[in-house]
Structure 1
Amino acid sequence: MMRTWQISTVTDAARARIAAARLAAACGAPPLERTRLAAALSAQLRQCLTKGGTWRLTLEEEASGGQCLLHAVVTPSLETCAAGAAPWRTTVSCPESARDAESGAVADENPEALAEALLGADEDTALVLDKLSEQEELVAFHREELHQTNQGVVALHAELDAAGRAQREAFAAERKARREAESARRRLTFLADASAVVTASLNHHEIVRRLAEVLVPEYAAGVDVWLFDNSEHADAGAARHRPAPHPAAAVVAARTGRPQYAADHPGGLPGVDDQPPSALNPDRPLLCIPLMARRASLGVLTLSPPGERWDPDDAVMLIELARRAGTAIDNARRFEHNRDIAETLQRALLTDLPDTPGLKLAARYLPATHGLNIGGDWYDAFRQPDGSVIAVIGDVTGHGLHAAVMMSQLRTALRAYAVDGGSPGRLLTRLHNFLHHLQPDLYATAVIARFRPGDPTLTWAAAGHPPPVLRTADGRVRILDAKPGAMLGIPLKQEIADHTVRLSPGATLALYTDGLVERRARGIDPGIERLAQALGGFGAAELEADLAGAADGILHPLLSDSERDDDVCLLLCHLSGV
C-alpha cells in the first residue's frame, strides 16, 4: 500500500508528519522507532520548506521476511528537482502491515484529531525520554563502575609498584647482608688462621716476625712492633730488630692502653681514639694498638693501612688479633723465663762423673725439643763407702719443673741411702717407699748397676725401666732383660730383686732412658734392638780409646729419625782392659 502527500506549507508538513507517525503506529512500530521516524521526517520537511517549492511524501509498505518495511520517501516536484534538490529516504521495520486503510489519514477539519496526534507524539517523546533516562542511568552506573574499576586498577598498580620497590629493596638488603656476611666470614677465617700462626710458637721473637707476615699486605702496608722491656723493633719488610723512634700515638696507646688512630682526618673506628697525624710520617695514617696481657701493656703494634684507611670492621678484627698476639707474647716470655730457670736447674743437677781406675764412664743428656726442655730423666754415678761404684739412670714421669725437682729429690735420696752400702735392689726398694710416701701421684723408673773393684760380677736391679744392654769383651751383645720390679711409687708393696752377670775387661754396659729407643709408631723393642746393634758395631779398641765419642756415635743413628718429644739420657760404663 502506498500513500502520498503534497507538501508546500508548514501545515502540510505537520499533517504529513502526523500521518507518517500514525501509519507507523498502525504497523506496530515501537515508540522509539516511531519517534525516530517522526524526528527524521520533521527535520527533512523543515529543510524542504526552507528551500521552498512543493514536495511529495510517499509512505509505502513492503512485506519482507515475515515483517513489514515502511519506506518514507520525500521527493521534490519537477521544478524543485530541476533546481538541484535530491530525494530523501528512510525505512522503518514494523512487525505487521497496517490493517486500517485510513490509519494514515488526517482530517483537515478535525482539530481534535490533530490534538490527539500531537498528544500521541508527546507520549512517544515521553517514552523516548524515559528510555533515554534509563540509558543515562545505566550509563551513569557503568561510568561509576568504570570509575571504581579504574580506581582499583590505579590502587593495584600502586600496590604492584610498592611491592616492586619493596622487592628491590629486599634484594638490595639481601645482597648487602650477603656481602657483609662474606666479609665477616673472611675476617673470622683470617683471625682464626692468623691466631693459629701467631700462637703456634713459644719464642716471642718468632711471634713478632709471624705477626708481621700474616698482616702484610692484606691488612697493613707496614707493621712495627714496639716491646717495652728491650724496645725491640720488628719491621714487616725484613725479619730484623733495631731501635727506632716511636710515633706519639704509640706512646699514648702505651700509656692509656687504648688503640689510637693518628691521621689528618677522623678515623671513625669503634673503640679507637683519634690523634693528630704523626710527625714521623704525616702523610700516612697510623693505627697504634697496645699489646695487652693480664691488664698490663707489653708493647704497641703500629700499622699503616694497605689503602687510604681501614674499614671499621677490619679495625675491630685487628684489635682482637693484637689482643691474642699480646697474650701469645706474654705466654712465650713466661715460657722462656721458666725454660731458662729449668735449664739452669738441669745443668746444676747433671753430675760430674767420677774418675775410677779400671772403669770409664761417659754420659749424654739431650732435653726434648718441645716444651720446657727439662724433664725427669737423670743419670748419676758415685762411690759407695766400700769403694764400689754405683751407676744409675732414671726417669720421673712428666716434664717441667715439678718433674725436675722430684728427680733432684730422688737423686739426693739415693745418694743418702747408698751411704748405708745397700745393694741395687735394696736401694730401689727404699726409693720406691720414699716416692710413694712423698708423692703418691708421681712415679719413676730406674736402673742401678754396681761395680766392685777387682770383682768380675756386675750386680744390677731395675724398676719398670728399659733393660740394660751389655757388650761383652768378645763383641757379643746381650740385653739384660731379667724380670724387673714395678715402677717406683706405685701403690704396691714390693721388694726389688738384684741380678748379677759376670764381666771381663773390655765389656761395656749401656744404661738409657726410653726417649732413646721408644717411637710412637714402632714401640720400644725395635729401638732396643737398634741400640744393641749400634753398641755392637764398636770395637773394643774404639770403646777403650774414646768412650765419649762412642756415646755420640750411638745417639746419632738412633735419633736421626726422631723429633725428640721426650728427654734422652745415655750412660756408658766400660771396664778397661788390663
Structure 2
Amino acid sequence: MTTTSDTWILTGPVDAARARALLARLTADAGVPARDRARFLAVLTAMLRPCREGRRQRLAVTADENLHLALDGAEPWRHTLACPSPLPRPLPRPDDLAEADLAEALLGAGEDTTVVLAGLDEAEELVRFHREELHQTNQGVLALHAELEAAALAQRELLDAERAARAEAENARRLLTFLADASASLNASLDHEDILRRLPKLLVPEYARHVDVWLVDDERTPPAERPAAAVTAARTGRPQHAAPRPGGLPGVDDLPASVLSPDRPLLCLPLGARSVQGVLTLSAPGERFAPDTAVMLLELARRAGIALDNARQYEQHRDVAEALQRAQLTELPDTPGLALAARYLPATHGLNIGGDWYDAFPGPDGSVLAVIGDVTGHGLRAAVIMGQLRTALRAYAVEGNGPARILTLLHRMLRHQQPELYATCAIARFTPGEPGVVWAAAGHPPALVRGPRGEVRVLDAKPGIMLGVPVPHEYEEHHEELPPGATLALYTDGLVERRSAGIDAGIERLADALGTLGAAELEQLDAAADALLKPMLRDSEHDDDICLLLCRTAA
C-alpha cells in the first residue's frame, strides 16, 4: 500500500478556500458519504479561521487507505477520515485549482448541505416518531406503575388484614385456652373456700391487677364498704364497669369511676348460676379492659358461679350424709369382762355416703353381739340399706338367733327386697362365763385375733357368700378360743385394700400393726384403735369408708 504526503502552506483566505475545495473534491471522489463529508468540511472550515483572517497556517496531508490531516497553529488539529475508494497518487495541490474549480466547489458544498438537511429532516421525523412512541411507552409505564402501586397497596392491606386476623385468632385461642384451663381448675374442687383462693391466682397479674370476691351472705364486710358498682352488680345481676370514661364493653353497664378506685377501671361481675351468690371485682391490669378479654371474664365469672354453687350443694349433701351416717353408728355398751372400741372414717372422695357400719349390743341371754358390715356401693341408697340391715339384724338377734342364723335371715331378706344390692357382714357373740367367741361371716374380710403375748392369727375359716347373692345359702358358725387378755379385730375392706396392692398385703400389715401394740395401749382400747389406724393410713387419701371394731376380753 502506497502512502503519499504533502504539506500545504496557507497564507490567506484564498489559500484556505482552495484547500477546502480540493479536500471536498478528494473526499467526494473517494466515496466518503455526504453526511460525513459535510461534517468533516464544517470542522475544517472552523479550524481554518486564522488563515481566513490573514494568518499563516500549515496543513500536512497524508493519504493511504484513509486521509490524515494535521493543521499547525495556535490550536493544533488532527483528523483522520475513512475513505471507501483510493485517493489519487500523488495528491494534487491547492494551487492547481482554477477559479472554475472554486465555483464548482462552492456549488457542491450546497449539494452536500442539501443532503445533510434532508438527513436532518428524516432524523427529525424519526425523532418525532420515537418521541411519540416514547411518550406512549412512558404513559404505559406510568399506568403500569400505578397498577403495580395499587396492587402493592392492596397486597399490603391484605397482609395487614391477615396479620390482624391472625393476631385476633391467636388472642381468641389464648383466651379460650385460659378459659378452659381456669374452668377445669375451678371445677376440680368442691370446696368453695378453695375455689375463692384459686380465682386471684388465675387472674392476677395478666387479667387483673387486683381481685376481690364478695359473697353476698358474707357478713364480715358490709355492702357499704364495697364499691358501688359491686353492690349494683349484686342487686341487678348485671355486670358493671366503673371508670372515668365509658368502657363500651359488650354486655356490661357503664358507671362513673368508683371512689375506692378513681383512677383505675373496675369490672364487677356477678357470680351465680340461678341466683347471684356474690360479685367478682377486677381492677384493670392496664388503662382499660379489652372487649375480648371482658367477654372471656364474663364467661369465667359465670362458670365460677356454677362451681361455687356446686361446691355449696356438695357441702350441704356431705353434711347431711355424714349426719345420716353417724346417726346409724351405735354407742358401744359397757359390758363387764369385755372392752369395746370402734372407729369410723368416711371416704375422702365423693359425698361420703357409704354402707360401712359397726354395731354392738347385748342379746336376750346376756351375751354381747359385735357386728361389722359393708353394703356394696355408695350413695344414699347404700346408707338406707345399711340402716335396714342393722335394724333387721337387731330384730333377729332379739328373737334368740345365733350369728349364723341371723346371717341366713338377712341373706333371705336382702335377696327378696333388694335383689341388686349385696353386703358383707361378720358377727361375733361373746357369752359371759365362756372363754371363747362364736362367729359367722358372709363374704367379709377375716377377723384377726391377738393373744395376750402378742401373737396374731387370722380367722381364715371359709366365710359364706355375700348377703343378697341370688343363691339360697345357709351360713355356718365357728368357735374360737379366746384366752383372757386376747383382742379380736373386726374391720371393713376400706382399711386393708388399696389400689396399688391386694387385700392380702393389707391384712398382713394390719396383723403386724396389731402384734406391735403394747400392753399399755391395749389397756386403753381407744388408744389401741388410734394406734392401729396410724400405720394403716399413711396415705391420708382413701376411696372407701373405714370401720374398725376391737373387742378385748378382760385379763
TM-score range, shorter chain: 0.7 to 0.9
Alignment of 1:130-529 (within 5 A): 130-136=118-124, 139=127, 187=175, 190-192=178-180, 194-228=182-216, 230-232=217-219, 241-245=220-224, 246-279=226-259, 281-293=261-273, 295-472=274-451, 475-529=454-508
Residue 35 of structure 2 corresponds to: 32
Residue 63 of structure 2 corresponds to: 63
Amino acid at match of 2:119: K
Report the Cα offset of residue 404 of structure 1.
1.4
Secondary structure of the residue that 2:463 maps to in structure 1?
Answer: coil
Q: Does the C-alpha gap of structure 1 residues 479 and 15 become closer, same or farther in structure 2, counting only changes over 3 Å?
A: closer
Taking the aligned partners of 2:153 and 2:298, their CA distance within structure 1 comes to 39
1:552 aligns with 2:540: no
Secondary structure of the residue that 2:248 maps to in structure 1?
Answer: coil
Amino acid at match of 1:225: V
Structure 2: 5+ residue runs without aligned partners?
Answer: none
Residue 532 of structure 1 corresponds to: 511
| Corresponding residue to 1:21 among 20, 24, 30 | 24
Taking the aligned partners of 1:60 and 1:212, their CA distance within structure 2 comes to 108
- Give the structure-1-normalised TM-score: 0.78
Task: Judge conservation of contact 1:259–1:273 (CA < 8 Å) in 2.
Answer: yes
Secondary structure of the residue that 1:495 maps to in structure 2?
Answer: coil
Amino acid at match of 1:554: L
Report the Cα offset of residue 378 of structure 1.
0.3
Taking the aligned partners of 1:537 and 1:69, their CA distance within structure 2 comes to 136
Task: Judge conservation of contact 1:56–1:74 (CA < 8 Å) in 2.
Answer: no
> Deviations 1:371-413 (Å, cap 9, x if unpaired)?
3333111012234445543321111222332321221122223
Amino acid at match of 1:559: L
Amino acid at match of 1:336: E
Report the Cα offset of residue 516 of structure 1.
2.0
Residues paired across the two proteins, number: 548
Taking the aligned partners of 1:392 and 1:434, their CA distance within structure 2 comes to 18
| Corresponding residue to 1:97 among 70, 84, 87 | 87
Q: Does the C-alpha gap of structure 1 residues 127 and 489 become closer, same or farther in structure 2, counting only changes over 3 Å?
A: farther
Amino acid at match of 2:252: V
Task: Judge conservation of contact 1:362–1:573 (CA < 8 Å) in 2.
Answer: yes
Q: Does the C-alpha gap of structure 1 residues 91 and 168 become closer, same or farther in structure 2, counting only changes over 3 Å?
A: closer
Amino acid at match of 1:231: D
Task: Judge conservation of contact 2:227–2:258 (CA < 8 Å) in 1.
Answer: yes
Moved more, 336-345 or 129-138: 129-138
Task: Judge conservation of contact 1:518–1:524 (CA < 8 Å) in 2.
Answer: yes
1:575 aligns with 2:553: yes
> Deviations 1:23-80 (Å, cap 9, x if unpaired)?
432333332344345545666789877x5x7x9999997432xx253769899xxxxx
Task: Judge conservation of contact 1:61–1:68 (CA < 8 Å) in 2.
Answer: no
Moved more, 198-207 or 507-516: 198-207
Q: Does the C-alpha gap of structure 1 residues 99 and 135 become closer, same or farther in structure 2, counting only changes over 3 Å?
A: farther
Taking the aligned partners of 1:350 and 1:393, their CA distance within structure 2 comes to 11
Taking the aligned partners of 2:257 and 2:10, their CA distance within structure 1 comes to 116
Amino acid at match of 1:205: E
Q: Does the C-alpha gap of structure 1 residues 566 and 45 become closer, same or farther in structure 2, counting only changes over 3 Å?
A: closer
Q: Does the C-alpha gap of structure 1 residues 125 and 529 become closer, same or farther in structure 2, counting only changes over 3 Å?
A: same
Secondary structure of the residue that 1:97 maps to in structure 2?
Answer: coil
Q: Does the C-alpha gap of structure 1 residues 357 and 38 become closer, same or farther in structure 2, counting only changes over 3 Å?
A: closer
Task: Judge conservation of contact 1:4–1:56 (CA < 8 Å) in 2.
Answer: no
RMSD: 4.5
Moved more, 268-277 or 1-10: 1-10
Report the Cα offset of residue 370 of structure 1.
3.2
Amino acid at match of 2:528: A
Q: Does the C-alpha gap of structure 1 residues 404 and 17 become closer, same or farther in structure 2, counting only changes over 3 Å?
A: same
Task: Judge conservation of contact 1:505–1:575 (CA < 8 Å) in 2.
Answer: yes
Amino acid at match of 1:63: A
Report the Cα offset of residue 460 of structure 1.
1.9
Structure 1: 5+ residue runs without aligned partners?
Answer: 76-84, 233-240
Report the Cα offset of residue 96 of structure 1.
1.3
> Deviations 1:210-242 (Å, cap 9, x if unpaired)?
3244444444344332323x234xxxxxxxx44
Task: Judge conservation of contact 1:475–1:540 (CA < 8 Å) in 2.
Answer: no
Residue 79 of structure 1 corresponds to: none
Q: Does the C-alpha gap of structure 1 residues 62 and 411 become closer, same or farther in structure 2, counting only changes over 3 Å?
A: same
Secondary structure of the residue that 1:362 maps to in structure 2?
Answer: strand
Residue 235 of structure 1 corresponds to: none
Q: Does the C-alpha gap of structure 1 residues 548 and 148 become closer, same or farther in structure 2, counting only changes over 3 Å?
A: same
Amino acid at match of 2:194: E
Secondary structure of the residue that 2:464 maps to in structure 1?
Answer: coil
Taking the aligned partners of 1:395 and 1:41, their CA distance within structure 2 comes to 135
> Deviations 1:420-460 (Å, cap 9, x if unpaired)?
44443333233334334444443322112233444445332
Task: Judge conservation of contact 2:424–2:442 (CA < 8 Å) in 1.
Answer: yes
Taking the aligned partners of 2:339 and 2:11, their CA distance within structure 1 comes to 168
Task: Judge conservation of contact 2:207–2:285 (CA < 8 Å) in 1.
Answer: yes
Moved more, 216-225 or 182-191: 182-191
Secondary structure of the residue that 2:393 maps to in structure 1?
Answer: helix
> Deviations 1:74-120 (Å, cap 9, x if unpaired)?
99xxxxxxxxx99999775432124899999877689xx96x77775
Task: Judge conservation of contact 2:490–2:550 (CA < 8 Å) in 1.
Answer: yes
Task: Judge conservation of contact 1:21–1:37 (CA < 8 Å) in 2.
Answer: no
Taking the aligned partners of 1:88 and 1:536, their CA distance within structure 2 comes to 135
Amino acid at match of 2:281: T
Amino acid at match of 2:387: S
1:565 aligns with 2:529: no
Q: Does the C-alpha gap of structure 1 residues 161 and 447 become closer, same or farther in structure 2, counting only changes over 3 Å?
A: same
Taking the aligned partners of 1:280 and 1:542, their CA distance within structure 2 comes to 61
* Identical-residue share of aligned pairs (%): 64
